[in-house]
Amino acid sequence: MLLGLGLLAGLLIVVCAQPSPVKAEGFGPFPVRNFQPLQQLAMSMPGDRAAVLKQGVVDVRVELAETASVFNDVGSQANVTMKFETLRSGVFLRYGATERWELALEVPTLYRNRGFMDGPIKAVEGATTGVAPARDALANTDYAFNISRGGRTIASGREGVVGLGDSTVMSKYQLLQEAAWMPTLSIRTALKLPTGDRSQFYGSGSPDFGLGLAAEKGFGGRWVVYGNLNGVVPTGRIAGQALHPTISGLLAVEYLWSDNLSFTTQLDYYSSPFHGVGIKELDKGVVESVLGFSYRFTQRFLWQGYMVENLDFIRGSAADFTLSTLLTYRFEA
């Protein structure tokens, strides 16, 4: 958390002294998805803008997201003990097939480890709301991953394992172009391919299907509002548990400081694909806030960074904290 705040503050001080009077184009919401270790095995469609790439344009994006997760719960039917960080490295390709149709492919890899954010997170929690009970209970534990139900382990994973995650093929078709009182509106589809290592809980072993809407609208020359609403139908089972359809959505507001720099805040919600397991980490949905920046070094090279903070103080179902950086290079005629 401290690293993320320092990154944002440093960029603000170094890059901009005065806002530019030039009207800039928005960069869109951050491609956040549900980073909760078990819930993310069912597809959650990442945040996206409604506008599509121009025909023939190719975007290549590399994303690194480090997520800290800590859970310690004894439920009526199941028990969970988890404390680790997951580094998600994703390569994301987008292609403008026509003036209204965009295709995309994402291939991620996952690395589960004891991480580096435990100290900074405890320092921030200690100075504000107090150290989370689960983190305090596991203070002397460096790494833990065990979920049991009925006295039998249903999910576990070794430390230090690198594995391929489930890949996703996506499509976006623009229905409406932004006008005076009309937002840009697109329909999205997604298919998850079971390429992940199921034995290490890096993949579900089954395909998932998604459908969603994306909208965006500019206001006042410097503000852009984005909205996503998605539904996913997962198939198969995870940790022996049946999966159910999910919904997710986001609302994001971007402030265009200049034609090369913007700051964005967004709110994300994900329902859980699990029902009736008996522990909140699987049964409850996730609510999170996101804060980050987008900075364009050149017309073709974009750098973004964001942090995701858990807002589920009562339900306790979300991952604790995520810090991410993205680099995008655009190939165009």
Q: Is residue 93 within a helix (H) or strand (E), and if so which, with residue range?
A: strand 78-96
Q: Is residue 186 within a helix (H) or strand (E), and if so which, with residue range?
A: strand 184-193
Q: What is the pLDDT of residue 315?
A: 56
Q: What is the pLDDT of residue 313?
A: 56
Written as tens digits, the pLDDT of the chain (333 aa) is 433 434 444 433 333 434 444 344 789 999 999 999 999 999 999 999 999 999 999 999 999 999 999 999 887 788 999 999 999 999 999 999 999 999 999 999 999 999 999 889 888 888 887 788 888 889 899 999 999 988 899 999 999 999 999 999 999 999 999 988 899 999 999 999 999 999 999 999 999 999 999 999 999 889 999 999 999 999 999 999 999 999 999 999 999 999 999 999 999 999 999 998 888 889 999 999 999 999 999 999 999 999 999 886 545 788 999 999 999 999 997
The string over 46-77, giving b where at least 16 C-beta atoms fall within 10 Å of a residue's C-beta and e elsewhere, is bbbbbbbbeeebebebebebbbbbbbbbeeee
Domains and CATH numbers, the chain: 2-331 (2.40.160.40)
Q: What is the pLDDT of residue 76?
A: 72
Which two structure tokens, joined as six digits, stand for 332? 């165009």
Q: What is the pLDDT of residue 7?
A: 40
Distance in Å from the first CA to the final CA of the chain: 40
Q: What is the pLDDT of residue 136?
A: 87
pTM of the predicted protein model: 0.90
Q: What is the pLDDT of residue 16?
A: 41
CB neighbour list of residue 209: distance below 8 Å, 6 or more residues apart: 190, 191, 192, 232, 233, 235
